[in-house]
Amino acid sequence: MKKKVYKKKGTRSKSTVGFVLILAIIAFTSFVMINGLQVGIYEILPVKDNVNYGLDLTGGVYVVLEAKEAKGDPVTDEKINRAIAIIQERIDGLGVSEPIIARQGENRIRVSIPDMQDQKEALDVIGKTAQLEFVGPDGEVVLTGERVKESNAVYQTDETGARSAVVTLKFNEAGTEAFAEATAKYINQVIEIKLDGEVISAPQVQTKITGGEAVITGMANIEEAGNLATLIQAGALPVELEPVEVRTIGPTLGQDSLEKSIIGGAIGISLVFAFMLFYYRVPGFIADLALIVYVLLNFLVYSLIGVTITLPGVAGIILSIGMAVDANVIIFERIKEELRIGKSLGAAIDSGFKEAFSSIFDGNVTVVIAGLVLFALGSGTVKGFAVTLLIGTAISMFTALTVTRHLLKMFVNMQIVKNTKFYGA
C-alpha cells in the first residue's frame, strides 16, 4: 500500500509544493534572524541583538560576596534578600544594562556588572552606605532613614470595601516630631522619598500626621509595595558582605571571545554540513536542512526566554548540535540496513525512524538527567551550560525525529532522486 501512495501524482505535487514552501520559510526566517526586518512601524531586530551575552563575552566585573555572621546577629533569608534589593538599586543607579544580582547558596550573592572594568569602583558601589531622605518640595531634607523604625507592605481596605496594596511607615520619636512638622508644612504637596539621591516614591501629603505612622498609597500591587518597603527600610546593608571572588573581563577579551566563538561555531557547523552531505547524500541534505531549523529554533528560544549566553553556554550549544547530528546518523544507518535487506524506500524510512527511536530517546534522557543535575546544583556559568544543553537537547529531539522525518518523506514523494544508492543502499 505504501509503495502505491509514494507513486500517486497528487502526492508528488503536494509534496513538491510543501517542500519548496518549507525551503522558502527556512530561507526567509534565516534572513530575518541574521539581518532583522522592518515593516512600517514594526521592527524585528537581528537575533544577535536580542540575545543576552555573559560577561565572558562582553566584558565587565564579576563579584561574589559572602555574608559574614556576627555574634548574636545571624545571617537570615530576610537579610540576604534585603541586601540583594539594595545592591540592585545601587547598580541600577549606574545606568548599566542588564546587571545580574542573584543569590548563590545560603549566604552568598553573585553580582555581574557589564561594561564596568574598575573593580574598586564596583566594590565601592556595592558596599557604600545607602542614604534615605524625605525631601520637601522646596528641597529641604525633612528627615532621614535613621528616623524610620519600620516599613511594611500590607493590604488596606477603604470605605468602599476595595482592597489595595500600601506601604506603612512607623517613625521613632524624633522622626514622629519631624514628620508632623513636615506634613503640616507641606499639606497637598509632595514629599519625595529618595534613596541615594534617586526618587523611589513621591507621595502627596493629604493631612498633618502626628501619630508617627503614615501610609503610602498608589501601589500597583503588593510586589511593588514590598519592593518600596524594602528600600525604605534598607538604609545600610543589613549584613556585612565580604568579596570572596572578584574578576574583571576586558571588553577586548570579551569581544575577541565572542568573535572566536562565532567563527568556531560557523566552521564546526559547516564541516558537519559537508560531512553529512558527502557521506549520506540525500538524507544528509535533509539532515542539513533540519540542522538549520534546529539552530533557528535554538536562538528563537534564547531570545524569547532571555537566556544569557556565556562561553560554557556556547559549549552546551555545540554539544547539543553534535547530539542532533548523532540522532540523524543513528536514523540514517538504520535506514541503510533496512534498504539492504530489500525493503522499499518508504518502508525503510518508516522502519529506520521507528527502530532508531529508542536509542535516541535513551541517549537524550541521560543527557537531560545530567543537565538537570548541573542546573540544580551548579551556579553561574555552569547553569548557563546546563540551560543551553537542556534546550538544545529538547529541540534536537524534535528536529531529528519530526522535522527530518517529514522533510525526508516529502523529498522521496517528489521522486527527484529515485536511486536508493543515494539513500545509502
Local confidence pLDDT in tens for the 425 residues of the chain? 444 444 556 778 888 999 999 999 999 999 998 888 888 888 888 888 888 777 777 778 888 889 888 777 788 888 888 788 878 777 776 666 667 888 888 888 888 887 676 777 777 767 665 566 888 888 888 887 767 777 788 888 877 778 888 888 888 888 888 888 988 899 889 888 876 677 777 888 888 888 888 887 777 788 777 767 766 665 557 777 888 888 887 666 566 777 777 788 788 888 889 999 999 989 999 999 999 999 999 989 988 887 878 878 888 888 888 888 889 999 999 998 998 888 888 899 999 999 999 989 998 999 999 999 988 887 667 888 888 899 999 999 999 999 999 999 999 999 888 888 888 76
State the pLDDT at residue 76. 85
Per DSSP, 70 falls in state B
**With respect to CATH, is domain 132-234 assigned 3.30.1360.200?**
yes
State the pLDDT at residue 407. 93
250-423 adopts what CATH topology? Multidrug efflux transporter AcrB transmembrane fold (1.20.1640)
60-129+240-248 adopts what CATH topology? Alpha-Beta Plaits (3.30.70)
State the pLDDT at residue 394. 92
Sheet with 163-171, strands from edge to edge, namely 148-157, 163-171, 213-216
| The three three-digit cell numbers of residue 46, written as one number | 537581528
> Which residues belong to CATH 3.30.70.3400 in the chain?
60-129+240-248
Please tell me whether residue 157 adopts helix, strand or coil conformation: strand
> Which residues belong to CATH 3.30.1360.200 in the chain?
132-234
Residues forming beta bridges with residue 245, ordered by sequence position: 64
Per DSSP, 205 falls in state P
Give the whole-angstrom CA distance, residue 134 versus residue 90.
18
pTM above threshold 0.75: no
Contact 104, 80 (CB under 8 A): no
∠ CA 208-167-187 to the nearest 5 degrees? Answer: 20
> Which residues belong to CATH 1.20.1640.10 in the chain?
250-423
For the range 401-407, what are the long-range contacts, defined as Cβ-Cβ under 8 Å and sequence gap of 24 or more? 401/327, 401/353, 401/357, 401/360, 403/289, 403/290, 403/293, 403/294, 404/286, 404/287, 404/290, 404/328, 404/331, 405/349, 405/353, 407/19, 407/22, 407/286, 407/289, 407/290
State the pLDDT at residue 2. 47
Chain position carrying cell 482592597? 163
Rounded to 5 degrees, what are φ and ψ at 164? -140, 155
